[in-house]
Amino acid sequence: MSAPEYGRAFTLWRKAAPEWDAYTRHEFVEALRRGDLPRQDFLHYLRQDYVFLIHFARAWALAAAKAGTLAEMQAASATVQALVHHEMPLHVQVCARAGIDAPALEATVEAPANLAYTRYVLEAGYSGDFLDLMAALAPCVLGYGEIGTRLAGSGGPYSDWIETYAGAEYQALCHDVGGLIDGALAYRLGPDWAGSPRFDHLAQRFATATRLEVGFWQMGLDGA
């Protein structure tokens, strides 16, 4: 399948990431699509994903702190808002309906694959600049957008999850983030940003984060 239109940097980074298909077509994703993912595996994933989203929101808050323009600060803070007020409450709701109440969710012990991924992203932001952070965050945001698009209309027991990421609101977020990244590259590296020496380093960050997303799905399957 061709890449969704989430901007030029995404198209280039996606093509250069060896494990992109292993991420977006992981067995966990295929089981969600078919609808035969065991419920326990899904809930295990959701609990870990709740912890993931806490650190993901922190990383976007760090992006607001590292922003160079008002537009970047607005885009980063809007993403924090969407995560904290929409995606995270959705996880709380789904878990509550499955018998995992808020205190149980809060008590989730973080899996090593989750630790590795979220701290990698945060570290990119702590030791790097806004671009390092964007390259590390892009596979999370845009990968789920691509997965949502591909799985849209699959139906089955996981259709709510699928339609969250296939839906107009999440897809608009992906387009905004894609535009934010292209704009941030041009602002810092100039109009020939794709040919700048830093671009390869950023592509490697994107590829590493992609590899850590594969590990996250695998953690979901293995229950580890």
Ligand X SMILES: Cc1ncc(CO)c(N)n1
Instruction: List, by residue number, the catalytic residues.
Output: 140, 213
Based on the shown chain and the rule CB under 6 A, indicate whether residue 60 belongs to the binding site for ligand X. Answer: no
Q: Measured from the CB of residue 208, what is the shortest distance to ligand X in angstroms? A: 14
Q: Which residue lies nearest ligand X, judged by its C-beta?
A: 140
Among positive and negative, which fits the CA dihedral 106, 112, 115, 118?
A: negative
Q: Measured from the CB of residue 196, what is the shortest distance to ligand X in angstroms? A: 27
Cβ neighbour number for residue 97 with a 10 Å cutoff: 8
User: What does DSSP assign to residue 154?
Assistant: -
Q: Measured from the CB of residue 197, what is the shortest distance to ligand X in angstroms? A: 29
The answer to whether the beta carbons of residues 212 and 113 sit under 8 Å apart is: yes
- Which residues are CB-neighbours of 136 under 8 A, at least 6 positions away? 59, 120, 121, 124, 125, 205, 206, 208, 209
E-state strands within 156-212: none
Q: Measured from the CB of residue 89, what is the shortest distance to ligand X in angstroms? A: 13
Based on the shown chain and the rule CB under 6 A, indicate whether residue 176 belongs to the binding site for ligand X. Answer: no
User: Which residues, numbered 61-120, are part of the site for ligand X (CB under 6 A)?
Assistant: none
Q: Which is nearer to ligand X, 114 or 131 (CB)?
A: 114
Cβ neighbour number for residue 215 with a 10 Å cutoff: 19
Half-sphere exposure of residue 66: CA atoms within 13 angstroms, side-chain side: 20
The answer to whether the beta carbons of residues 5 and 171 sit under 8 Å apart is: no
Q: Which is nearer to ligand X, 19 or 186 (CB)?
A: 19
User: Which residues, numbered 36-55, are part of the site for ligand X (CB under 6 A)?
Assistant: 49, 52-53
Phi, psi of 180, rounded to the nearest 5 degrees? -60, -45
User: What does DSSP assign to residue 87?
Assistant: I
Q: Which is nearer to ligand X, 202 or 209 (CB)?
A: 209
Q: Which of 50, 60, 130, 144 binds ligand X (CB under 6 A)?
A: 144
- Residue with the two structure tokens 């994703």: 29
User: Which residues, numbered 121-140, are part of the site for ligand X (CB under 6 A)?
Assistant: 140
Q: Measured from the CB of residue 93, what is the shortest distance to ligand X in angstroms? A: 15
Question: Where does this chain bind ligand X (CB under 6 A)?
Answer: 49, 52-53, 140, 144, 213, 216
